[in-house]
Structure 1
Amino acid sequence: MKNLLVIFAICFAYTFSSAQSDINKAGVEKACLNYIEGFYEGDTSKLEASLQPTLNKFGFWKNKNTNTYAQVSHMSFKQALDYAKDVLEKKEFPKSDAPRKIEVLDIGNSIASAKITAWWGIDYMLLSKRGDKWMIEQVLWEGPLEN
């Protein structure tokens, strides 16, 4: 009987852990999708739902003339929202088949990492869990991949 209780407890713990892992992965994916769609659609509410106000985003853009990468200046939370507003105002939306690939790389108890592929290139993200919600803290990007 004791063995049966131990097996039951182990199975319950594994099931609970697996369910928590699935919930965390879905939360990270949702934050990343909000990020992509926020920029693609010019939707500031999606960005506000996924970005920490202390966002630190910077990256490297490929110069078409020299075929070399140069560092682009930092983008803050406010600048991200302003960029999205500009997309909406100018109606500069990407093509409907623009990439929206999300790869969750690792998930801890309070931190996670992910990689997204979008029309502008790739972004590596560090996220933190605030309460029960995953939020993007930092982004390092490089784009575009071709040229």
Structure 2
Amino acid sequence: MEKFITIALFITSMVIGHAQTEHEKVEKACYNYIEGFYEGDTAKLKASLQPELNKFGFWKDKETGNYKQVDHMSYDQALAYAENVKAKKNFAKPNSPKEVEVLNMGNSIAAAKVFAWWGIDYILLSKRDDKWMIEQVLWEGPYEEKS
């Protein structure tokens, strides 16, 4: 009986130890987002983006140094962008920045900051059926070393 209890406790601790925390799930959704664009992987984007995605941002004009608003990107446009990356083999460089910082978490909402080759993104996520999904993205580029 003692062996059975020891084995049961060991298996339970392994399962609990391997279960992703909510924090890790938010990070995973954000890494799927970056890697989906970097690798042209629509499966990763579909796994982390809400179909109602609202993404928009600002790009720094090289000549003037001013930031200009860039057109809105929808869920379908995000997938099309990734498909284009894959078709043209226009993948991100291996040393491209890829960082995720979870800023805050509630029970069903979270905020994260992402560093990618194009710039910095602030991401709002919601928890849907135990899965964290990206709802909103506000970004600014080009990427500059974080301070």
Same fold (TM over 0.5): yes
Q: Cα RMSD over matched residues?
A: 1.1
Distance 1:94 1:29 in 2: 20
Please state if 1:143 is matched with 2:141.
yes
Q: Which amino acid aligns with 1:133?
A: K
Distance 1:87 1:143 in 2: 19
Please state if 1:122 is matched with 2:136.
no
Question: 1:50 — aligned with what?
Answer: 48
Residues 97-124 of structure 1, C-alpha deviations (whole Å, 9 max, x = no match): 1011000000000000000000000000
Q: Secondary structure at the match of 1:46?
A: helix
Structure 1 runs (4+) deviating above 2 angstroms are none
What are the residue-to-residue correspondences of 1:1-147 with 2, within 5 Å? 23-146=21-144
Identity %: 68
Q: Which runs of 5+ in 1 are unaligned?
A: 1-18
- TM-score for both structures, normalised by structure 1: 0.84
Q: Secondary structure at the match of 2:70?
A: strand
- TM-score for both structures, normalised by structure 2: 0.84
Distance 1:23 1:77 in 2: 26
Q: Secondary structure at the match of 1:55?
A: strand
Per the TM alignment, residue 145 of structure 1 is displaced from its structure 2 partner at its CA by 3.4
Q: Which amino acid aligns with 1:95?
A: K
Q: Secondary structure at the match of 2:125?
A: strand
